[in-house]
Structure 1
Amino acid sequence: MVYPGAVHSRFEHSLGVYWLAAQAVYILHNRHRMELDIDNFDMTTVKLAGLLHDVGHGPFSHLFENEFLPRVLDGSKWCHEQMSVRLIDHMVDEHNIDMDSGIIKRVKEMILASSSYALPKSASEKLFLYDIVANGRNGVDVDKFDYIVRDSRACGLGCNFEPNRLMEQMRVLDDEICYPAKDYLTVYKLFSARADLYRTAYTHRKVKAVELMIADALILANSYLEISSCVHEPSEYWKLDDSIIKTIEIAPDQELKEAKNLIQRIRRRDLYQFCNEYAVPRDKLEHFKNVTSKDIICSQNSSGVTLKEDDVVVSNVKIDLTRGRLNPLENIKFFQDHRSSNKFPIPDERISHLLPACYQDMIVRIYSKKPDLVPAVSDAFENFQLKTYGIKAQVHGTPEKKRPRF
């Protein structure tokens, strides 16, 4: 399974973020010893936030949160950051951990800092510490530093982003972490490397096919195993991990037969068949609505094959630089040199005309659950594009090898 920060394991990623968070806070402490007054309390909270920031992830991490839960929670909002802070409280209470309540409070604030559930910060100073692990201000944080380098290496991809260079050069100005103006393109490489990973690894079409099948298997097993009922109670939630797939696969229960068949198809590499994809035209991005299976089957022609919604899977894949259609570098502050005490933003047109004018791709990808339906699904997909845009937005037809031979 491939997902951000976990081409290896969640434990390795969390440990990597812990060490990078410790390195970052020590660098700032040594560089601004008197000015910032970073103490042991600050160092402890930043390191613990790095170690525990992802403890709330469920089985298969983002797949569980983005593909499974929205289909079983009936509109209820849920995020792994919130579960992380609830699990921290559970662990402290369950194991009678003797820890300063102020440390626990600050750690939870730091974990939620970049989410939509961010808490009011208890500190009125040293706010830059909240940007080290989960940066809600501009997205430059050690969480990305770790998984971008780690996953690029694990996938055999090149990575020209250098996190150590950024950390060694960063400064705090007016309670905000800033970077040398000469490193503007180094900061940009952080976001472009992340986008490359999403395109080539995390949302690779075969990866998404497996993810969609696992999500379907979990949904088929949900009523019997009551998987979704665990997500509201930390005392039950911590028991969920990737082994849920093995539980389904070896269970003798007839109620799990359909889910088990899907897992066995994955083992045999009998995956949902990729039919085609297209990139949403740039001028349509602002008002784009996710394409559904119903949209596709409503576009089928009278070819003799009647498609049902359950025959088609649509994956709407968004790849951006962390801020949707906006440039994330607009929120980052820079300084001229280490003698300067002024911070300022840098418009990208002042740096290079080779940087993108658009910061988001939306890719609509279609799969057929049955190999023999690939031609019909592909034709319906083409009809949908003609009906929606007046043109076929995809750049190539369905490969002939995907079409069955009779």
Structure 2
Amino acid sequence: MSSWQQMITASSEHDSTENMKEKKFLYDIVANGRNGIDVDKFDYIVRDSRACGLGCNFHFERLMESMRVMGDEICYRAKDYLTIHKLFATRADLHRTVYTHAKVKAIELMVVDALLKANDFLQIASSIRQPAEFWKLDDSILKIIEFSNAQELKEARDIIQRIRRRELYQFCNEFSVPKDKMEHFKKITPQDIICSQKTGGVTLEEEDIVVSNVKIDLTRGRNNPLQRIMTVMRYSQSKMIASATCCLHFTKI
């Protein structure tokens, strides 16, 4: 695995690699597997909050100005614990109110289906391991598919046009799993839904259903994420370690 690939993969997965014998903190910058504080979150939390018209109380500049490398790890001032808490709390709020919103998930699933159907013709996946080509992949790929006359892109084109007309995959139901049941909760699958449908009317197949099992917490499950950060004082608060799980069901018809 090349160094640039390791930089965008959580650092905890590469603790034993040769490249991390020195300056391990470099692998915490983009995707921090040790404590979850990284520039990726700095970027999308501020960007998405602004794009959605939401307020953002997290100011990453404060952390950037005060962070220091100590013991080969990026450390923060103890008095910045509230700023760090806002980072994790804002991320969780975005997942609850934006990323897992029924219409957002429906559009996400439709875009994925469109790209999968267009992949054989456009060879989209071939760019994944070619940085010089990968960076060119942006929202314009949807326009390319939508305005193409190629018969090979008809299925993908139809899906994108459905998005434009707001004919989205139909949201069916959701179920919130109580915290005391989460440990023994089995993820729901399309097969579970099919087996539960009643006879008569429309008969759904597994490929007609998408189940999204979502777990939202502060990146460390029931654990306080601040306990993994060096030099930060302990900060125990029940709402910080609360987590929630829900299932979103969609049909593609």
| TM-score normalised by the chain length of structure 2 | 0.83
Aligned residue for 2:250? 367
Structure 1: gaps of 5 or more residues: 1-81, 86-104, 336-344, 371-406
Q: 1:200 aligns with which of 97, 121, 130?
A: 97
Deviation string 1:122-158 (CA, Å, 9 cap, x unpaired) is 553x544443443222111233223222321222111
Q: CA deviation at 1:173?
A: 4.0
For 1:146 and 1:241, locate their aligned partners in 2 and report how far apart those are by CA, in whole Å. 17
Alpha-carbon separation, structure 2, partners of 1:311 and 1:108: 35
**Per the alignment, do residues 154 and 241 of structure 1 end up closer, same or farther by CA in structure 2, a change over 3 Å counting?**
closer
* Alignment pair present for 1:120 and 2:4: no
Partner SS, residue 135 of structure 1: coil
**1:225 equivalenced with 2:122 (yes/no):** yes
C-alpha distance in structure 2 between counterparts of 1:232 and 1:367, whole Å: 32
Residue 68 of structure 2 contacts residue 74 of structure 2 at CA under 8 Å; is this kept in 1?
yes
In structure 2, C-alpha distance between the alignment counterparts of 1:234 and 1:170, rounded to whole Å: 30
SS at match of 1:318: strand
3-state SS of paired residue (2:128)? helix
Q: Check whether the contact 2:221–2:241 (CA below 8 A) recurs between aligned residues.
A: no
Q: CA deviation at 1:168?
A: 3.6
Cα deviations across residues 259-310 of structure 1 (Å, max 9, x unaligned)?
2111111011111121221122323333444322221111012344322223
CA distance in 1, matches of 2:127, 2:64: 39
* Structure (1 or 2) with the larger CA radius of gyration: 1
For the residues of structure 2 that align with 1:240 and 1:369, how far apart are their CA atoms? 26
Alpha-carbon RMSD: 2.9
Aligned partner of residue 249 in structure 2, secondary structure: strand
Q: What is the CA-CA distance between 1:113 and the residue it aligns to?
A: 5.2
Shift of 1:109: 5.2
Distance 2:129 2:79 in 1: 47
1:282 paired with 2:166, answer no
Question: Which position in structure 2 is the counterpart of 1:355?
Answer: 239
CA distance in 2 between partners of 1:128 and 1:229 (Å): 31
Give me the whole-angstrom Cα distance separating, in 1, the residues matched to 2:120 and 2:25: 45
**Distance in 1 between residues matched to 2:207 and 2:26, nearest whole Å:** 48
Classify the secondary structure of the residue corresponding to 1:188. helix
Determine the structure 2 residue equivalent to 1:309. 206
Aligned counterpart, 2:39: 142
What is the Cα deviation at residue 224 of structure 1? 3.5
CA contact (8 A) 1:312 1:368 kept: yes
Task: Provide the rounded CA distance (Å) in 1 between the counterparts of 2:32 and 2:225.
Answer: 12
Give the whole-Å Cα distance in 2 for the aligned partners of 1:128 and 1:226.
36
* 2:193 aligned with 1:292: no
SS in 2 for 1:182: helix
